[in-house]
Structure 1
Amino acid sequence: MRPSDTAALAPTDPLPDAIAGAVPVPADPVWLQPGAAPVRSRTAAAIVAAAAGVLLLQGLYFHADLLDQRPELRGVYRALCDVVACRRPVYRDVAAIAVDQLVVRTQAPGVLRLDAMLTNRGREAQPLPRVRLQFENLQGVVVAERRFAPGEYLDQPPASALAVGQSLHLVLELVDPGPEAVSYALVPVD
């Protein structure tokens, strides 16, 4: 603004008669009171809350396996599943299945017998895992390997999962991989 413009708008100048009578100015300030919330904002809040609830339920459903594996969330998650009737994943922790007393010996010419104990050291019962048997040569190179399902290493699989602390005797008859196979390992895989 130019100085001449500000002089024309100085507050000491009286208002023109047409403007002064158009808007009455109260002597005391007017306080505004909050009214009831408009219906639109309540509806929007309800929609946002419903959408958040749906997203939460989807997260619980699609990440069930992860939530059930966490000890601090397992109880809450299982209680919710009982109410909502959702499926709970089967507990699996192959790292908690220990292989003990592993012995491989010659049973007959060209035939080996493997004996081992599988022990569940996990925090819950779990299904029997598949196991991988591998033979290595002196350089650590695998010369023979095979995976076995529970039906292949047990005469009769147990009716239920392997309980916590339970051990199971595993027996396999194998074709001898030859004299270059000097070491062996049996590992639960899934």
Structure 2
Amino acid sequence: MDCSVCGKSFDALRFLSEDKDSRLNDDLPYPDHQTLDQGPQTRRVWFVATSLVALLLVAQILYFEGYRLTMQPQLRAHLDKVCATLSCRLPPYRNLEELSVSHSDLRVRSDSGYLFSAVLSNQAPYAQAAPDLKLSVLNFNGQAIAERVFSSAEYLLKPTTLAPEQTVEIRLFVVPPAAPIGGYTFSLL
């Protein structure tokens, strides 16, 4: 007879008895005297296989979620220390939630143009790249009549990186559209 699990042949008749209280005389039920647990060698193979699978899981997490993890303020300090030791480089920190805009305004200038101004502050504990800014001018019905995306190089004179707790003023000159302006919206990208 063959085992349905391991495929080995065995003699099942030698273990059958009509006496309920009879015990087996054989200590090892398999004819080739193999047991299921083969000792330290099997444990080593399982340890190596489990370690490789765990490393593969960590590699997948880093591959698919690595960038997002480096943008977490709680992990960033630890990752900076690890990269300093390993001589690696983290991607530039970028978290729009830690940027705040205040005092935004759109005013008519004397030359019939418009001046958009705002104050942008980096509230992150790390330096981060200044974001792009999307400015939309609206008609009196709230519909966009013109919009443009300004890169950080267009509204900042110096390098486009904001230091921790740095505040900069944004000043953009806007050519008036054909329709009258009733309002504006802007967003950081």
Normalising by structure 2, report the TM-score: 0.69
Pairs within 5 Å for 1:1-190: 9=18, 37-154=39-156, 156-158=157-159, 161-189=161-189
Alpha-carbon RMSD across the aligned residues, in angstroms, is: 3.1
| Alpha-carbon spacing, 1:101–1:178, altered in 2? closer, same or farther (3 Å) | farther
8 Å CA contact 2:145, 2:179 repeated in 1: no
Q: Structure 1 residues 9, 60: closer, same or farther in 2, change over 3 A?
A: closer
CA–CA separation in structure 2 for the residues paired with 1:58 and 1:83: 22
In the alignment, is the contact (CA less than 8 A) between 2:129 and 2:161 conserved in 1? yes
**Structure 1 residues 178 and 97, CA gap change in structure 2 (3 angstroms):** farther
Amino acid at match of 1:144: A
Aligned residue for 1:28? none
1:102 offset after TM fit, Å?
A: 2.1
Does structure 1 retain, via aligned residues, the 8 Å contact 2:116–2:174? yes
Structure-2 change in CA distance of 1:148 and 1:10 (3 Å): closer
Cα 1:102/1:9, change in 2 over 3 Å: closer
- Does the CA-based 8 Å contact 1:64-1:88 persist in structure 2? no
Compute the TM-score of the two structures, normalised by the length of structure 1. Answer: 0.68
2:129 is paired with a residue whose SS is coil
- In the superposition, relative to structure 1, how do residues 120 and 101 fare at CA in structure 2: closer, same or farther (>3 Å)? same
C-alpha change, 1:106 and 1:82, in structure 2 (3 Å) is same
Q: Secondary structure at the match of 1:63?
A: helix
Q: Distance in 2 between matches of 1:112 and 1:36?
A: 82
One-letter amino acid matched to 1:48: T
Contact 1:127 1:161 in 2 (8 A): yes
Separation in 2 of the partners of 1:43 and 1:83? 32
* d(CA) in 1 for partners of 2:183, 2:18: 101
Question: How many Å apart are 1:183 and its aligned residue?
Answer: 0.7
Tell me the secondary structure at the aligned position of residue 52 of structure 1. helix
**Aligned mates of 1:75, 1:166 — CA distance in 2:** 19
Aligned residue pair count:
161
**Contact 1:150/1:157 (8 A) holds in 2:** no
Deviation track 1:85-144 (CA, whole Å, cap 9, x = no partner) reads: 444122212232222222322334442222222111233221111001111122211111
**Identity of counterpart residues, as a percentage?**
27
In 2, the alpha carbon distance for the partners of 1:55 and 1:24 equals: 45
Distance 1:24 1:82 in 2: 63
Gaps of 5+ in 2: 1-16, 28-36
Give the Cα separation in 1 of the matches to 2:53 and 2:19: 56
Cα shift at 1:64: 2.0
Are the aligned partners of 2:142 and 2:182 in contact in 1 as well (CA < 8 Å)? no
